[in-house]
Structure 1
């Protein structure tokens, strides 16, 4: 099959989903109100609560939720064939991710921009809130620790990306000042920012930078991780308009230009998909496609981490409630487009089936490396881009998204510690600086404590990221569904995805539990068991809460009819 057809079907489906389904959900289900006074205006402080242009906010939200996961997940999942990955990405984006992300923004916006975790206590119950906060903390811990390790690995393997990656921070700082102080209009700033970023990408291969293999006994990988967390700690304390917003915005533009180049190259060269549509000859040890497909591809179909961003930083910057449709749902479409591009790159970016099979020789292979190499080949064949520049472009794309996710993730982890400080009356923990220190320390403890001197400990619990992340998405959908029931509105658009995720997550956890037991990995076995208990608990809480609310609504309706 030609990749052009796959591209047109995928992009066309997601575009129609945004035009029609998102409008239905926004107007008939969430009933977004343009006159509602958002928390960004009510609590405006110039630091976290900042009313923001919806295009700039879209850039922040999209790049914060994207990260490297919509590349890694699909690039691994194609081992079962490109058809299952394609269908889950497209239909997951339309009916799962868009509804989830826009709903999380709406729910938080209607509750003083509180996080989904904090909302759970009021909407569902205190028991669920405690459970939710633990799951959130685990997801953020995994995201921050693993993304730091992934970025460090890419910076070491592709030294040509170092200059554009760190140079983008300075570009963002300048853009932030220009936008906030309104020195230039947004269009002009966007053009100048993109030109500066791509100039750095072109210059990157000429100025490769590597760290010494060891400094005072610390490896280059560990050094990059320490540098990244030092940067992320500072970034998470700065007002959002200084770095977070402009960096995410310019990264969003960079991604769309990169996607246009990649999709344009597909149109020009018309590569064939060499990978099988359904892989009936998977390598030994590959788990069953169902349910593992639905937790291997999280970001790009639906991801609980999106709910943390939507209710943690995005809702605090929402200028108008109606912007939630564009920022949330269209942000999900943007991520789905990245996942679709990944599927094409890792299935049509190889010369032959044998070349593809040489990479996908066991489950877990592929990932960012397959995306970079496959995408670079398509760019070279389609638009004649130099391979070194093409690889630098795609590497920078992956690193910048992972970096923005890490920035936002650490800020969200700081919020969690501050919320815990408020819940348990620990006053010093409610302060930004101590909470940030706790967030960084916990990530470094995992990275170095579990992984040793090279700082790769975050990878130890990565196998559980997919299931824990989808469990978190289920929790977010539970909160949204409960709010809809209380408002006596149709709930099927969130209830059906919620039920699907709970079934697949519990199924996947059971399979993983057996696997960890068989190989004797008691650390992951214990964590898996805890997450499994949490998943069952959530299913029971969801059933009890929704049944109680529906009964209350019936009673009120009956009383009203009698009157």
Structure 2
């Protein structure tokens, strides 16, 4: 199999999804219309609600939803062979993720930029919406805890990334001032920001940053976890235009550049895919069988409930025109699918460039390939070296930096989104102090930090165990989001149109629920009571939400008949 065939097939499918399918759904089902005034105008406060250029907003949304997940998930999943991962990423992006993200953004815009949990509460029922928000909060908790530890471990292992990774924050702060305060040209500001970011890369290589071996009994890993959560807390209460938005935007631009470099090198080199097409019987340690675990291993890059949280949390408050929903929502999913596709190719073809073994079979492939984001950096570096001559170490650093910056932007957005939910709970349950920005932020940072720091032990950290649970919960959340949107469409007399969300809903709910039950059994046998309890809670809430939503749909259909 040629990697070029995989690349072109995926890109063609993404293009058809954007030009044909998304246009149909946006025009005929969602009926996007610029005559409708968006919440960014009606509720403008220049803190959370602010009309934003769709290209800048796409950059923010894309990098906020992407994170490390579309790299980590596919890099693990190709151990079942390249074919299942490829099909799920491509078809999932076009028919699942794109529709989920665009419709979740649309639903929030139609409800004053409220979170998808609040939207569920309004259209399905108060008690159901409150349960839905519990699932959302747990997903955010797992994302923030896992990514906080992942970034900390990367910071310890790759000290050469510290200067460019943290320098990106300073660049974003300056960029926000240049765009919003001084009204400078967006293209000029973008070019300068990206050039400065890449200038910091060789400086970081020359000046690696190490933390002290022991500070108050804390090793460097724990020190980084504390630093990251303090930063995330501060970043979450700053106006979105000051840091979050420009930081995500410039990261989005540098990712596009990185993908262009990778895709261009694939066109030049066309490395052969040495991995087997399918290995259905493989057992990957704790990961398990192909079906249903594949569909919770690759979440971001195919469909992800976390996207609905971001779309209805920060992005919906910044939509300038209603038609921007399609551009930001669907193209955000396509961008992430493109990253997942690139990850698959780097792992199944790029790794082969580093090996002298040209006759890989399932047994030798699993020996060579251990899975995980390290293969993304190594394989990507090898392809770019062969394609454009970029030194191998420089290529690995570039792709490693891409991973770290994306994980950090997701964590930034995750803490802010937790703060929104806590504030909504404060309003819902009449607890005034929870509605305050600083208090809600401290609560969000505190619970995420406790879960993260509790997971760090002598033998590693709990994010490895959290990942499959996050994947299952994340996909369940995606199905509940689609269910909420289906109720909205049916209530608006769009029963036929609701099929565009009902079909992916049924499939992903079945796979995710099945996967969550398998993981619950594993957590029980391992006596991991924290993750077992979270898993069971998610399963119970899912059943209650689905039954309530089906009851609402049944009543609505009877009223309309």
TM-score using structure 2 length: 0.95
- TM-superposed deviation, 1:221: 0.6
| 1:67-113 Cα deviation digits (max 9, x unpaired) | 00000111111111111100110111011111111111111111111
- Inter-CA distance 427–359: structure 2 relative to 1 (3 Å threshold): farther
Partner of 1:263: 263
Partner of 1:504: 511
- TM-superposed deviation, 1:455: 9.3
2:133 paired with 1:133: yes
Partner of 2:148: 148
Partner of 2:542: 535
Out of 408, 429, 432, the position equivalent to 2:437 is 432
- Inter-CA distance 6–85: structure 2 relative to 1 (3 Å threshold): same
2:496 paired with 1:495: no
Structural mapping, 1:87-126, within 5 Å: 87-126=87-126
Partner of 1:77: 77
Which sits farther off after the overlay, 23-32 or 158-167?
158-167
Question: For the residues of structure 2 that align with 1:373 and 1:218, how far apart are their CA atoms?
Answer: 31
Partner of 1:333: 334
2:409 paired with 1:409: no
- Inter-CA distance 127–527: structure 2 relative to 1 (3 Å threshold): same
TM-score using structure 1 length: 0.95
- TM-superposed deviation, 1:506: 1.6
Conservation of the 8 A alpha-carbon contact between 1:56 and 1:245: yes
Partner of 1:62: 62
Question: For the residues of structure 2 that align with 1:14 and 1:496, how far apart are their CA atoms?
Answer: 19
Partner of 2:11: 11
2:528 paired with 1:513: no
Partner of 2:471: 466
Aligned residues: 553
Out of 536, 540, 551, the position equivalent to 1:544 is 551
2:451 paired with 1:446: yes
| 1:125-157 Cα deviation digits (max 9, x unpaired) | 122112111101110000011101111111111
Question: For the residues of structure 2 that align with 1:47 and 1:454, how far apart are their CA atoms?
Answer: 42
Question: For the residues of structure 1 that align with 2:138 and 2:560, how far apart are their CA atoms?
Answer: 35
Question: For the residues of structure 2 that align with 1:249 and 1:284, how far apart are their CA atoms?
Answer: 36
Q: CA RMSD in A?
A: 1.9
- Inter-CA distance 28–13: structure 2 relative to 1 (3 Å threshold): same
- TM-superposed deviation, 1:329: 0.2
| 1:185-207 Cα deviation digits (max 9, x unpaired) | 11111111111111112332112
Question: For the residues of structure 2 that align with 1:348 and 1:459, how far apart are their CA atoms?
Answer: 25
Conservation of the 8 A alpha-carbon contact between 1:450 and 1:460: no
Conservation of the 8 A alpha-carbon contact between 2:516 and 2:539: yes
Conservation of the 8 A alpha-carbon contact between 1:101 and 1:328: yes
Conservation of the 8 A alpha-carbon contact between 2:427 and 2:435: yes
2:475 paired with 1:475: no
Partner of 1:302: 303
Question: For the residues of structure 2 that align with 1:283 and 1:513, how far apart are their CA atoms?
Answer: 18
- Name stretches of at least 5 consecutive residues in structure 2 with no aligned partner: none
- TM-superposed deviation, 1:412: 0.3
Question: For the residues of structure 1 that align with 2:158 and 2:274, how far apart are their CA atoms?
Answer: 27
- Inter-CA distance 498–361: structure 2 relative to 1 (3 Å threshold): same
- Inter-CA distance 433–522: structure 2 relative to 1 (3 Å threshold): closer
| 1:149-184 Cα deviation digits (max 9, x unpaired) | 111111111111111101111111111111112442
Which sits farther off after the overlay, 544-553 or 520-529?
520-529
Question: For the residues of structure 2 that align with 1:283 and 1:301, how far apart are their CA atoms?
Answer: 22
Question: For the residues of structure 2 that align with 1:258 and 1:534, how far apart are their CA atoms?
Answer: 40
Out of 412, 417, 424, the position equivalent to 1:419 is 424
Conservation of the 8 A alpha-carbon contact between 1:244 and 1:407: yes
Partner of 1:233: 233
SS in 1 for 2:446: helix
2:322 paired with 1:321: yes
- Inter-CA distance 177–358: structure 2 relative to 1 (3 Å threshold): farther
Question: For the residues of structure 2 that align with 1:5 and 1:459, how far apart are their CA atoms?
Answer: 33
Question: For the residues of structure 2 that align with 1:325 and 1:192, how far apart are their CA atoms?
Answer: 29
Question: For the residues of structure 1 that align with 2:527 and 2:224, how far apart are their CA atoms?
Answer: 32
- TM-superposed deviation, 1:451: 3.5
Question: For the residues of structure 1 that align with 2:385 and 2:350, how far apart are their CA atoms?
Answer: 10
- TM-superposed deviation, 1:283: 4.1
Question: For the residues of structure 1 that align with 2:555 and 2:53, how far apart are their CA atoms?
Answer: 40
Structural mapping, 1:156-167, within 5 Å: 156-167=156-167
Conservation of the 8 A alpha-carbon contact between 1:172 and 1:243: yes
Question: For the residues of structure 2 that align with 1:231 and 1:472, how far apart are their CA atoms?
Answer: 27
Structural mapping, 1:188-199, within 5 Å: 188-199=188-199
| 1:489-542 Cα deviation digits (max 9, x unpaired) | 121001111111211112112222333344443443333222222232233223
Question: For the residues of structure 2 that align with 1:445 and 1:200, how far apart are their CA atoms?
Answer: 33
Question: For the residues of structure 1 that align with 2:528 and 2:556, how far apart are their CA atoms?
Answer: 42
- TM-superposed deviation, 1:210: 1.6
